[in-house]
Each structure stands twice: as structure tokens, then as C-alpha cells.
Amino acid sequence: MKITIVGTGYVGLVAGTCLADLGNDVFCMDNDKDKIEALKRCEIPIYEPGLKDILEISVKEKRLHFITDIKEGVKNSEVIYIAVGTPPGENHEADLTNVMAVAREIGQHISGDLVVVNKSTVPVGTARKVKKIIQETMKGSYEVDVVSNPEFLREGSAVKDFMSPDRIIIGTDSPRAQKIMEKIYRSSVRAGNPMMVTDIESAELIKYASNAFLATKISFINEIARLCEKVGADVKKVAVGMGLDKRIGPRFLQAGIGYGGSCFPKDVKALIQSGIQYDSPFSILPAVEKINEEQRQLAIDKLKSVYPDLKGKKIAIWGLAFKPRTDDIREAPSLIVIEHLLESGAEVVAFDPVAQKNTEKIFPGISFGHDPYSILSGCDALIVVTEWNEFRDLDFERVKLLMKSPVIIDCRNIYEKEDMRKQGFTYIDFGRKELKTVDNPKIN
């Protein structure tokens, strides 16, 4: 099929490249000219494992094209995906400015029947608004169907997630559009990936409800972690015990500094706003948000339990991306931690395998390293913020020798307390059982 993807970011680029890989003729459009020029040279603006390989093949075989003119895409396509950003607006609702601008442009250039697919995460009612705008803007009389097809990919495993999703959700009230969507995802469904076709409103809500539920799991386990610290329980064991119950499952039960990223924070906020807008306010979600914000402060408080005054202290950060295997730092917990440290007069040095360039744009004053060890010299403490695999099996004897004081705040509970204490570290984690036998060594 001939498909245009409007918005060539984390979602649009992955979706466009994968749809091309499945044999479609795809135009990836973006109004960021530099990004499109780079993509034409097969330079990928984001870190996403596996993406470059399939992109290069599809570009070479002329199934994947990069354009800046939406007109070219609309005129040449039977299906247009909208995958532009939907950041939080002034009142924390989803800001639909980009989506509505694209709808108007589609309306201006439409010259045949079209299926428009909302891939961006948008509140209930958006598909119908997009359709209305297109119909009001278009000059001729064409059949336009707007489908909700929310995206569930996770950065870091986006290609795999797009190709083998847990589910493909299609929200539509049009048999014609349903047929076209079934055709696009036929090979994926044949490969065993389930497709659910439903009404538009339910599809739109499935995305928000899923993200808000996962965020709720994280905040829930973080509150349990706080209680663990008080009663002498170990949150990792509690989570494993809970997760063995098939109704609960083990995932998203890792206590620590809380969730971040471009989706959970904004989607929780947007769902809270939808609840207020439709006079069905949430009680649970404001609590989820509050707990998450408190977890960031808790990380700082744990550091302050060692150094009440951070002025002049040199603090190392391992991990800047909001999660491993991505360079995305949007709403990353590391940003809050760095901001607080700088405000307190501390010197910050940081290492992340791929997210340093993005972080430097926000904090040009901090220094970065080329590997985890390279930033530790003379440090008073190390805060592990992102659980990259690169940080799991390191030489902690070397770490200790490099640091001025062997203090580690482990915001992701990736190390074993007993091991770290035996090696001489003041090791502080989230919600894990205190040891009776090995004490924290003294700090210089």
C-alpha cells in the first residue's frame, strides 16, 4: 500500500520504516528539514537498536522515502498516519496543536478517498475532530475515514515491538477503513500478533488506560518500598512474590526513582484532565503522580542523609536516559536530580552510553565521560539513575579506588547490598532489607 507518515520522530520513523520493511511504499514526512535531510543520507537522529539496518535496506530498495512537503505525501497515498508529538498543554491536557495542523493540511491537499490513522496518543474524541477538520477544509467530495491505531512500542525495543506487538488496536466505525487496516497489518496478524477491532472511543482510551495502569503499578510498588524500609522487609522479594501471581505479573514492579519518559508522565496528566473534562475525575491517578514526584525527592534525601550539605561536593551520575537502550531524556529522573544538585552547589559529572549529547543541550555546564569509570575520580558519591546493563558487572574495586568517598545511591536496586557493603561502600538503595551484620563504613 502507499502510506505517508506525518511526524518522523521515535514513533513515526519506527512505524514508517517497519511498514516499508513489510513491503509498503512509505513516505516519512516531517517539517524538520534538517532531520529529513539527515534521514535521506540514512543518518538516524535517534538511538534505536536494529532500526538503521532495516531503514537502509528499504531506502536502497526505494520503498522508503523522506519528504518535507505533506502535499507530496497526501497526493501519493491511500493511507496517512499522524504520528506527531502531543506534549502536555498549559493545563496538562494533551496539546493537539500539531495533530490539528496536520488535519488541516491533509484537508487542503486531499484529492481522493483517504484513510487517516491517528498513531499519536490522543484523548477520546480526537479522531472525530480530525475527521471534521479534514471535511471542513477539503475542496472536493471524498470519502475520509479516521481510524484510531494507538502505538504501544517501547523505546529501546521499538522495532521488535512494532513487528511483534502484544496487540494491534484498530478503532473504527467504517468497514472500508477496517479492511484497509487489516490489509496493512495482514502479515503481522499472520505471524500470530493479535488484532482487536473496536469502536473509536474505546481504542483511544485503551492507550491512556494502559499507560496509566503501568504507571500505577510503579507508584504502587514504590509506596510498598517505603513501607518495606520501615518494617524491615525487602521490596525485591515482595515484588517477586507478588509477581508470581499470574493475575499480577512481575513487570513494572521495580521500586526506585520512579517513571519518566515522553509517555507515562504526560499520558497520566492527560487522562486526569479527561476525567475532569467529562465529570468523571480520577482519585487514583493524582496519587500515582504525587508518589512519582516524591520518589525523585527521595533519591536526593537519601544522598542528603550522607551529605546534608551538598555545596562543593562532586557527584557522579550513571545513566541519563529515562530508561536503558534509548537516548531519550524527556522527563528523565536524571534531569530533576542534576537540577537539584546544581542548585545545591554540587559539581556534577555524568556518564550515559548514548544520552550525553541530549543532556549536554540542557546542562552545558556539567562534564561527561567516555565510560563509567572515567567520571569517578575524586567523587564524593555516585548516583545510579538508569539501569543500563553496562553498569551491572563492573570492577567495584576500581570504582572504590577512583572515588574520594565510596558512596553509592542505587536508584534502580541493581546491586546486592551485602556485596557492596562487604566491598566497603556506603550503599543506599530503595526499600531493601537493612543488613544486621555488615555496617555502613565511615565516610571521609
Question: Beta strand pairing status for 2-6 and 144-148?
Answer: unpaired
Cα distance between residue 235 and residue 153, in whole Å: 28
> How many CA atoms does the CB half-sphere of 220 hold within 13 Å?
15
Residue 117 near ligand NAD by CB under 6 A: no
In the complex, the smallest distance separating the C-beta of residue 24 from ligand NAD, rounded to whole angstroms, is 19
- Assess 107 for contact with ligand NAD (CB under 6 A): no
The answer to the question of residue 229 lying near ligand NAD (CB under 6 A) is no
For 47-87, the three-class secondary structure string (H helix, E strand, C coil) is: CCCCHHHHHHHHHHCCCEEEECCHHHHHHHCCEEEECCCCC
Active site residues: 263
Site for ligand NAD, residues 242 to 271, rule: CB under 6 A: 262-263
Residue 126 touches ligand NAD, criterion: CB under 6 A: no
Residues 371 to 430: which contact ligand NAD by CB under 6 A? none
Return the SS3 of 381.
strand
Give which of 83, 85, 82, 86 is closest to 114, Cα–Cα.
Answer: 82
CB 340 within 8 A of CB 306: no
Residue 151 binds to ligand NAD (criterion: CB under 6 A): yes
Which triple of cell numbers denotes residue 123? 484523548
**Can residue 83 be called a binding residue for ligand NAD (CB under 6 A)?**
yes
Nearest residue (CB) to ligand NAD, 73 versus 256: 73
| Residue 44 or 101 having the CB closest to ligand NAD | 101
> Binding to ligand NAD by residue 101, rule CB under 6 A?
yes
Q: Using CB under 6 A, which of the segments 94-102, 197-205, 237-245, 309-317 binds ligand NAD?
A: 94-102
Closest residue to bound ligand NAD by CB: 9
**Considering Cα of 203, then 200, then 144, then 110, what sign does the dihedral take?**
negative
Q: What's the min distance (Å) between Cβ of 54 and ligand NAD? A: 17
The three cell numbers of residue 8 are 518522523
Candidates 5, 12, 48, 355; binder of ligand NAD (CB under 6 A) is 12
Q: Reduce the secondary structure of 247-278 to three states and give it as a string.
A: CCCCCCCCCCCCCCCCCHHHHHHHHHHHHHHC
Q: Compute CA distances 211 → 189, 263, 341, whole Å.
A: 23, 8, 30
Among residues 58, 120, 188, 292, which is the contact residue for ligand NAD, using CB under 6 A?
Answer: 120
Among 21, 30, 380, 410, binds ligand NAD (CB under 6 A): 30
Quote the DSSP letter at residue 330.
T
| Minimum gap (Å) between residue 111 Cβ and ligand NAD | 19
For ligand NAD, the binding residue among 3, 4, 9, 270 (CB under 6 A) is: 9
Q: In the complex, what is the shortest distance from the CB of residue 266 to ligand NAD, in angstroms, rounded to a whole number?
A: 7
**Binding span for ligand NAD by CB under 6 A among 27-35, 296-304, 336-344, 384-392:** 27-35
Q: Which residues have C-beta within 8 Å of that of residue 104, sequence separation ≥ 6?
A: 133, 134, 137
Q: Footprint of ligand NAD on this chain (CB under 6 A)?
A: 6-12, 29-32, 35, 83-86, 98, 101-102, 120-121, 151, 153, 155, 262-263
